[in-house]
Structure 1
Amino acid sequence: MLDPIVSFFTRMFQLIGRGLGFVIGILLLPFIWAWRWFVQRGWVLKTLVGGAVVGLVALYGYFGWNTQVWTNFNPDYVATHNFENRNVSAGEQVVAGGGTDTAKTCGRSAIADISAELIDLNVNQNAWISSMVLYKTGLFGLSWDHTPFLDNKASFQRGINQAIRRTTTELADNLGRVRGTSQVDSDLQDARGNMQFDEYTWYFGLTPFGPKTPTPSYYRSAIKSLNNFNGRLEKCQAVFDARADNLIQFIDRISNDIGATSAILKDRAENYNNGWFDPRADDRFWFAYGQLYGYYGLLKATHADFEDVLKTRNLDNLWDTMEQQTRAALNIQPFIISNGAENGWFMPSHLITMGFYILRVRSNLVEISNVLSR
């Protein structure tokens, strides 16, 4: 009775095995051809080709390692600064210094400190993935961003970078000037310019053709400029205009920035909900995650820099709530990003979940802005 059934499944497995063998054979065919060509060459050519292959394998190993190892990734990174106990607004004079200008001490900008720390995380503690030559060449010419492989860290770094770009622009245009009418601070201007540099530049390029300064070098220069600004601010030789209207504008810009990201997540979730088989869901998710990762520290720093304003307007509790909600979003760290349908029961929708947290943070920012505007 069971023999026909057993025979049927035996034939099925044999056909599947033959099919897999055929596919593997097709995939291995170029390598078999290359090996036969290689063994027929002279030793000089063998040495050159062998060295090139070994170098390429080592380069891919280095690239793979850097994309998978996230050095010093820590959603609670800002806790080490202990901003809650600082009680000094940015630019506020701390010590009179016996009446001499050279002995004055003013509060540092926590925003500038966190910005420099985040840049350092991206380009010094980790390799900047987006400008690595193998990231630029892609997978057989296909951009890594259009595959489910090796692009998560690059998207996370670019998300952080988006938050830093927005912040350095606000520092140069408003926060580091007296009512936005005084001369632009040279260090903040340099930091803003360097952070606007293209994220994908390697040591050599084709448009225009020739050697180039790579992206990480510009970002490292921004670290130096931000630290220089804070050094001068600490000596009361620079300006940080910690006024309510500057705070309103800053959080409005952040609100608009994360709102745009929420719209990108919504579009992807509604139009490409292929569950685990959406190759772009992961980089959309990790870009949004990186953006919130950066803004979490920057919003904590903003609380410290505008300590007097928030205390005067009785906004400490509302701001604390917003910080907690931002931090809660960073707990979402799925092993595989899924972009399932909203009413799906098998594959979750991590993009919709992240979008929900972003909108919740944005709602709090809008509420704080409205209170400050009254």
Structure 2
Amino acid sequence: MNKQLKDSGMSITSSVARTSKEGVRRLAWLYHPRTWKEKGIRWSLGLAFVTYIVAVVVLGILWSIEPATFDVRTNAQEIAEEIDLPQSEQKELPAGFISTATAINVARALLERPGGYISNDVFPPGIYLDNIPNWEFGALVQLRDFVRAMRNDFARAQTQSIEDKDLQIADPQFNFNSDSWILPSTESQYRKGNEALLSYLKRLSDKNDNDGQFFVRADNLRSYLEVVEKRLGSMVQRLAAAVGQVQYNINLAGEPQGRSAKPEPRQLRVKTSWWEIDDVFYETRGAAWALLHLLKALQTEFEDVLQDKNAEVSLAQVIRGLESSQEMIWSPLILNGDGFGMLANHSLVMASYLAKANAALIDLRNLLQQG
């Protein structure tokens, strides 16, 4: 019996090998110049076109793979080695090092992922890809918010302090047009912003230079989280609008004397266009990916502050919700089932994760505000 199984296995292996060799020979024959000459110009152009289409489709699939999550501490150690930080100083990194290194790696993920930055591509496959450009924009918005928070809060002792010279460069560079193809290209501007962040990181690590600073204070963290809270709230509302519901207008709730520039209806129907559902989903997914790493970095930097405010669990809950939003998507399409219908609604699932994270974020900000 064992001999029969062995002979059967060898037969299958040899059959596969013969098939593979035959396929290689067939491809070699198809692409041999002599074959092109014999078949004529039309056949040659047809083969070239089919080859191009297959290559574009395969590249499109590969370029649509989202970057994996990374460990913020390990990343910080790698960048410390990259800038030749002495081994003695790598054991106890200065305040702000992990957060800045994380921001640098988020930017690198946008620029150096398979296919590079594709939001500004004008040729296939980048021009026809839809999900990844939205993913990139979501991550980019979070990077912009964080770099601006570093410029306005984390790197300044008080409101009257002078801005950091490198962060003055990095902030506007990352706010450059996200889809400029040439003169100047988006990638070139973002690389300049990342170089400025790396320069700031080097000054931050230089104990002989008091020029670069990062202040770990509760009010700095609270200011940044206020921006994050608004971003998450907007994401949840856009995701929830995938179903479409009639909602009461609460824009002026709590303000008896409040008024708006234009009259607004008492009720309004909010619904995301069917064509934009996957766009909103992937933009949110990219934003959650970047925010997940930035908050993990801040969790390490502000460990003492969080313990003092008894707020570690609240931040951990925010991170848990963001981690859940990065789970594998098993469906080939982003589905938009109605309520309790037969089909899944991926937008509502994502909204539930982020809503839970946002609720924990509100609690966290309140705890940081307390004395």
Q: 1:227 aligns with which of 187, 198, 207?
A: 198
1: CA distance, partners of 2:319 / 2:369 = 20
Paired AA for residue 170 in structure 2: A
SS state of the match for residue 181, structure 1? coil
Match of 2:341 in 1: 344
Residue 194 of structure 1, CA deviation: 0.8
Which structure is richer in relative contact order (CA contacts within 8 A, separation 6 or more)?
Answer: 1
Q: Which structure 2 residues correspond to residues 91-240 of structure 1 after superposition, within 5 A?
A: 106-126=94-114, 127-134=116-123, 150-203=129-182, 212-236=183-207, 237-240=211-214
For residues 291-319 of structure 1, the C-alpha deviation after alignment (integer angstroms, 9 at most, x for no partner) is: 10110000001111222211222222322
Match of 2:32 in 1: none
SS state of the match for residue 219, structure 2? helix
Match of 1:73 in 2: 67
* Between 61-70 and 228-237, the greater mean CA deviation after superposition: 61-70
Unaligned 5+ runs, structure 2: 1-39, 77-87, 245-269
2: CA distance, partners of 1:68 / 1:312 = 46
Q: Does 1:371 align with 2:360?
A: no
Paired AA for residue 122 in structure 1: L
Unaligned 5+ runs, structure 1: 1-42, 84-94, 97-103, 139-143, 145-149, 204-211
For residues 78-113 of structure 1, the C-alpha deviation after alignment (integer angstroms, 9 at most, x for no partner) is: 266388xxxxxxxxxxx99xxxxxxx9833432211
Instruction: Check whether the contact 2:238–2:272 (CA below 8 A) recurs between aligned residues.
Output: no
Q: Does 1:360 align with 2:356?
A: yes
SS state of the match for residue 131, structure 1? coil
Match of 1:9 in 2: none
Instruction: Check whether the contact 1:68–1:153 (CA below 8 A) recurs between aligned residues.
Output: no
Q: Does 1:257 align with 2:251?
A: no
Residue 261 of structure 1, CA deviation: 1.5
Residue identity (%): 20
Residue 180 of structure 1, CA deviation: 2.9
For residues 15-66 of structure 1, the C-alpha deviation after alignment (integer angstroms, 9 at most, x for no partner) is: xxxxxxxxxxxxxxxxxxxxxxxxxxxx9xx89xx69x96997499458615
- Evaluate the alpha carbon distance shift between residue 107 and residue 223 of structure 1 in structure 2; reply closer, same or farther with a 3 A threshold: same
Instruction: Check whether the contact 2:138–2:283 (CA below 8 A) recurs between aligned residues.
Output: yes
* RMSD, matched Cα: 3.2
Q: 1:333 aligns with which of 329, 333, 352?
A: 329
2: CA distance, partners of 1:243 / 1:372 = 10
